[in-house]
Amino acid sequence: VEFLYCDLASMKSIRQFVQQFRAKNCPLHVLVNNAGVMLVPEKKTEDGFEEHFGLNYLGHFLLTNLLLDTLKQSGTHSHNARIVTVSSATHYVGKLHLNDLQSRCSYSPHGAYAQSKLALVLFTYRLQHLLTANGSHVTANVVDPGVVNTELYKHVFWVVKVVKWMTAWLFFKTPEEGASTTIYAAVSPEMEGAGGCYLYNEERTKSADVAYDEELQRRLWTESCKMVGISDEASRLP
């Protein structure tokens, strides 16, 4: 196992990481987008993005797009390269504010987190549409890991922390259990060639209705390209 440093909250760090990875001339068969913060106090990334949106969503959006060529070259007809993005059931209550993606008007940690997770689902569906339209041997799926006992909850209210400490053994998944659906999406033969799926407990399920809004998917994609500074070649596709 070899590690390369990448800070998903920094567009510069992401670009440097991709440059280092490409220099190795390695194939890329699986990309798992799993970094994230939850319910953090209002804060900006070094690029000026609201932290939930910048790290949870835009960082993965840029990383995936910069690695797409390598993924396309690595996938074959019988063994597609796979992109697995980790979202959350919180996306069901999320609202995408295209006119205020940075939550400048009124900041809510819960609202910002839910928006970032909804954005990941919209992004995955649009990405799969574009991959299919281009005839690429790459699939993109999105995963809900469930409620997992990790340090992600360190910013919740202290009462919630106490309840979590008392009940985690009963209601929370272990990190290993939480990773099972992501691993299933990444390596299971059953998922070969299958893209555009929302997975929970290793089964395909329905995401929020708004996530299937193709116009919203397109508008978010175009706006995301502007924000991270990449060309929106996809805007010319249906």
Q: What is the DSSP string of 114-181?
A: HHHHHHHHHHHHHHHHHHHHTT-SEEEEEEE--SB-SGGGTTS-HHHHHHHHHHHHHHSBPHHHHTHH
- Identified catalytic residue from 5, 57, 92, 113: 113
Residue 41 lies in a domain: yes
Residue 2 lies in a domain: no
Residue 150's pLDDT is: 52
Residue 116's pLDDT is: 96
Residue 36's pLDDT is: 86
Is residue 113 among the annotated active site residues? Answer: yes
Question: What CATH number has the domain bearing residue 165?
Answer: 3.40.50.720
Residue 183 lies in a domain: yes
Full domain range(s) for residue 25: 11-235
How many folded domains does the chain comprise?
1
Residue 108 lies in a domain: yes
Residue 4 lies in a domain: no
Alpha carbons 9 and 11: distance in angstroms, whole number = 7
Strand partners for 139: 82
Residue 5 lies in a domain: no
Residue 1 lies in a domain: no
Q: What is the DSSP string of 64-102?
A: HHHHHHHHHHH--SSS-EEEEEE--GGGGG----TT-TT
pLDDT per position in the chain (238 positions), as tens? Answer: 899 999 999 999 999 999 999 999 999 999 999 988 887 889 999 999 999 999 999 999 999 999 999 999 999 999 999 999 999 989 999 999 999 998 888 889 889 999 999 999 999 999 999 999 999 999 999 998 866 445 544 444 434 444 444 454 445 657 677 688 999 999 999 999 999 999 999 999 999 999 999 999 999 999 999 999 998 875 555 4
Residue 163's pLDDT is: 46
Residue 104's pLDDT is: 84
